[in-house]
Amino acid sequence: MTADVDSERPGEGPDRAQEAESYELFRDDWGIPHLRAADALTLARAQGHATALDRAWQLETERHRVLGTSASHLGPEAVDWDRFVRRARIADTARRCFDRLAPETAAWVTAYVDGVNEGLGEGAERAPEFAAVGLAPGRWEPWTPLGVWLSTHILFAGFPTKLWREEVARRLGEDRTTLFATDGPGTAGSNGWLLTGARTATGAPIVAGDPHRFIEDPGVYQQIRLACPEFDVVGLAVPGIPGLAHFGHTGHVAWAITNAMADYQDLYREQVRRTPDGGVEALGPDGWYRAHAHTETIEVAGAEPEQVEVIETDRGPVIIGDGPGTRGEAADGTFISLRYPPRVTGELGFDALPALLRARTVADVDTALDRWVEPVNVVLAADTAGATLHRVAGHVPVRPYANRLRVVPAEDPAYAWREGETVPLPRTEADGADGIAVMANERGLAAPLGVEFAPPHRARRIRELLGADTGWTPDAQAAVHTDTRLASSRKLLSLLAWAPDLGPAAERLRDRLLRWDRHMDADSTDATLYARLRTDVVHRLAAHPALNGVTGENDPWRSTAYPALFRPWLAALPRIGYALESLLTVGLLPYEDRLALVAASAEAVAAAAEETPPGPWGELHRLSPWQALPDRTPTGSDGSARFDAEAIRPGVAGDHDCVLSTSGVPGVTDLFARGPAARYVWDLGRREDSRWVVPFGASGVPGSAHHRDQTPLWVRGELAPVVTDWHLLHRTKPHRTKPHRTSHHPEENPAMTAATEPVAPALRPAVHEQKIEGFGTVRLVPVDPAADAELLHGWVTEERARFWGMAGHTLEQVREIYEFVDSLPTHHAYLALRDGVPAALFQTYEPDADPVGACYDVQPGDFGVHLLIAPAEGEGAVKGYTETLLTAFIAYVFSDPAHVRVVVEPDARNEKALARMARIGFELGPEIRKPEKTARLAFLTRAALGLA
């Protein structure tokens, strides 16, 4: 039976179907994908497709992180993140930013997403993690890459540090606000350097470095090559993001970035109150006003769902503070909103990405980066003509300096951003007298833009190493990448040298460490001994009365006012460990107290070393990457996989302030999660002499030959060659894709099937899956016009489906019609499966892009649906069958917060259908005249279901 039928969209078809397109996928000996296509859009689609094949689980993880649905399969430990991204409105911001993209950029991003959706099914079959958690890959929307970028970088600038400074000022005094200023636990540092032709063997520039980020498995950077007639670029992509945002070499110009350590996100202390009708008001400069508020549900695997109220004031989303009470007075407690540029401006900077791929000169890179927004980066670039660039790129708002330091009052207009104004960003050429430019998060080019920067040790050491020689080659850069000298050890060792009244064992410890070369080498036992001493000093310093206000029972991380997600920024011991050098230098403790403290540590460490001699540093200093699930290691002759809690964690040299910045948490653990997420060397003389490496491998599939094959290189500091000769690559079979579209609406693309051959509906990735007690599991999968034409033809040509408008259509006409529907950005068709069996055809449309939109006053957030039940099913099969299916479909529609009201238009004579709509909660509207029928409009709002 039909719950709602319609003929205009299904009955219209294209003159002819577009032909499929293809791309070529090559791989080098390390499995790195090299993609070649006939045009930029096909190439973008190819990049998405190839990434889905290699990184399906990673992509699915990122999609859930954007939507705040990670806990639905990862369990309670993911709830804190899900709550934060929903409160921060990451997905909604991504949609806004997509809407503001230039049309050609939107088409390019959409093509990438189409490729992801096409490849996810096949990629998921290779990835054992999906089966482990019972998850099917979901649908990427055109805006999803922008959401991935936002969720990856929303904490990058470390705005929670303002919470820490707030606590320090309150507990230790206003004059101590920046006492712990250093490269803190929430930020991620990098190294980068440029050598002009005067210092290289070829006379052409070299750009090299390594981004230091939290290391994830699979890796956060993907080595890739993208080639079409317009450009041919190698570089490091972020899986889920088209193009090469941070590191690339076009053959004519190369660029690289580091974190500028700029401050461009603000926290506001809000006053909020509940209104009598259940809404929320906030206090602003002009008094109380209505704030946005709605409630969302976080599904949690193995636990009860959790509700989260999403509140947004004129400053931004409220990310800290539970919903206000029911009283009309201002609520007690802490309410803090986050203001960040993409939320304010609707700009993320993605328009720069395709321009970077086409760049041929430094000037082209410079112009492209004028459009960059998030995050704020320092950039180095050079081209084959010898031109160079050293600049800051991004969006830094103009506002009072106090906003950078602390949480500021929302109602005070003095702390508002100056609308439409940004801070001028420094830029210069990078060809100074010594032919060297360095960027390492230090207080350098970006100094006017931030508050806390990395200590200067890495930048100074890189410059020292590079300045000691000329005639540099790409291979020689490894000596810089892997330098382990720890300059920040100087202050602690200086105090140790003057420590009074040491016993014999401590004297021997002192003599040994003062002779140490201060290199944190993996085989060094002296490095281990120094690390032990540092740990003991950190703990003793934390126990000193001068820091009682922020340690022990007073540690801010114990505060219930702040979400657990922010605890890494609020815990005192890591703060002391990272700031140890400055805390041993400034006058927080009298000099005599510092000497006594170091002497006591020396005695304790020396005694322990007498009993247990230190082993090599590399035995303790091991990589501990983040993984959404524990490692999977193939076992058994059948290639089956199991979880292995003891993932391979190589021991590595380096330390926090070394150029080889493998950063543990001083005083807390010698394991490290931050380090070189990739290394690169871009040679502007001969691109084929460029080099790169990542911590694991090109593939994110456990058991693949290229899953972890680069790890030994990475540990040793070696680099793999960048292969540019197509004849030296291994060609795979050509991949055919569906044609790219030209529309740029954010709801443009339905999910695609993964393989080039028809895929059975039950094997396709679902856009929605819902288990209904006593009914079964309902899954919505995109219609594949070619594969489903026969099934659909049998349904839509029956007499009962006459209002569908296809009673006399041939099989070929039905196929062409759904190919046309498949090409529309505003209309989508899905098969509804009940326990894997096709049960209904479900179509959605946007009323303002549909003939029905001319029949009533379309409201923002309206979303239309049509439903055709399969012939063998219906009320006679299971009581309430259609109503149950329709309820599942509505749950899917309302899973997108942008959808406010569902619109249906059943035949006005269908009293049974109208009664069903009323039972579900639809409000009946007016009758409308359509060419094929007189319909009765009906509307169902989120509020009617208690969702708003």
Rounded Cα distance between 380 and 429, Å, is: 9
Q: Return the amino acid letter for 408.
A: V
Asked whether residue 923 falls in the same domain as residue 791, the answer is: yes
Q: Is residue 653 part of a domain?
A: no
Q: Is residue 275 part of a domain?
A: yes
Asked whether residue 785 falls in the same domain as residue 913, the answer is: yes
Asked whether residue 54 falls in the same domain as residue 143, the answer is: yes
Which residue from 845, 865, 838 is spatially nearest to 937, judged by alpha carbons?
865
Phi and psi at residue 265, to the nearest 5°: -125, 135
Asked whether residue 770 falls in the same domain as residue 916, the answer is: yes
- Residues 6 or more apart in contact with residue 26 via CB below 8 angstroms: 33, 34, 35, 36, 726, 729, 730, 731, 732
Q: Is residue 727 part of a domain?
A: yes
Cis peptide before 926 (omega within 30 of 0): no
- pLDDT at res. 744: 40
Which residue from 357, 181, 338, 341 is spatially nearest to 253, judged by alpha carbons?
357
Domain CATH for 305: 2.30.120.10
End-to-end CA distance of the chain: 32
Look up the domain containing 901 and give its range.
2-17+758-945
631 vs 81, residue with greater confidence? 81
The residue out of 737, 767, 784 marking a domain boundary is 737
pLDDT for 698 beyond 70? yes
pLDDT for 345 beyond 60? yes
Asked whether residue 909 falls in the same domain as residue 861, the answer is: yes
Asked whether residue 196 falls in the same domain as residue 109, the answer is: yes
Rounded Cα distance between 765 and 424, Å, is: 46
Residues 627-679 pLDDT 10s: 888 654 443 334 444 333 334 578 899 999 999 999 888 888 999 889 999 99
**Which segment, 122-126, 326-330, 645-649, is predicted with the most confidence on average?**
122-126
Q: Is residue 786 part of a domain?
A: yes
Q: Is residue 358 part of a domain?
A: yes
659 vs 431, residue with greater confidence? 659
The two three-digit tokens of residue 900, written as one number:
């406010």
Beta strands in 524-635 (DSSP E): 631-634
Q: What percent of the chain has pLDDT over 70?
A: 90
Q: Is residue 181 part of a domain?
A: no
Asked whether residue 316 falls in the same domain as residue 288, the answer is: yes
Asked whether residue 53 falls in the same domain as residue 143, the answer is: yes
Domain CATH for 806: 3.40.630.30
876-886 mean pLDDT: 73
The residue out of 339, 370, 387 marking a domain boundary is 339
Helix 40-67 / helix 90-99 crossing angle, nearest 10 deg: 150
Residues 355-395 pLDDT 10s: 999 999 999 999 999 999 999 999 999 999 999 999 999 99
Phi and psi at residue 946, to the nearest 5°: 75, 25
Which residue from 137, 152, 200 is spatially nearest to 473, judged by alpha carbons?
200
Asked whether residue 822 falls in the same domain as residue 897, the answer is: yes
- Residues 6 or more apart in contact with residue 649 via CB below 8 angstroms: 622, 623, 624, 625, 671
Pick the range with the lowest mean pLDDT from 296-300, 478-482, 558-562, 566-570: 558-562
The residue out of 691, 708, 737 marking a domain boundary is 737
Helix 525-542 / helix 504-515 crossing angle, nearest 10 deg: 120
Residue 50 CA: distances (Å) to CA of 24, 56, 228, 818? 10, 10, 15, 26
Domain count, the chain: 4
Please answer whether residues 34 and 27 qualify as being in contact, where contact means their C-beta atoms are separated by less than 8 angstroms: yes
Q: State the chain's mean pLDDT as an integer.
A: 87
3-state secondary structure of 5: coil
Residues 1-25 pLDDT 10s: 333 333 233 333 333 233 346 889 9
Domain CATH for 625: 1.10.1400.10
Residues 195-235 pLDDT 10s: 999 999 999 999 999 999 888 999 999 999 999 999 999 99
Length of the chain: 948
Residue 713 CA: distances (Å) to CA of 388, 671, 695, 697? 30, 20, 8, 10
Asked whether residue 572 falls in the same domain as residue 719, the answer is: no
Q: Is residue 147 part of a domain?
A: yes
Asked whether residue 689 falls in the same domain as residue 591, the answer is: no
| DSSP states of 351-397 | THHHHHHT--SHHHHHHHHTT--SS-EEEEEEETTS-EEEEEES--B
Pick the range with the lowest mean pLDDT from 37-46, 176-185, 274-283, 635-644: 635-644
- Residues 6 or more apart in contact with residue 82 via CB below 8 angstroms: 68, 69, 70, 71, 298, 308
Q: Is residue 204 part of a domain?
A: yes
Asked whether residue 212 falls in the same domain as residue 135, the answer is: yes
Residues 568-622 pLDDT 10s: 899 999 999 999 999 998 878 999 999 999 999 999 999 999 999 999 999 999 9
Angle at 850 between CA 846 and CA 852, to 5 degrees: 105
Residue carrying structure tokens 């040509």: 797
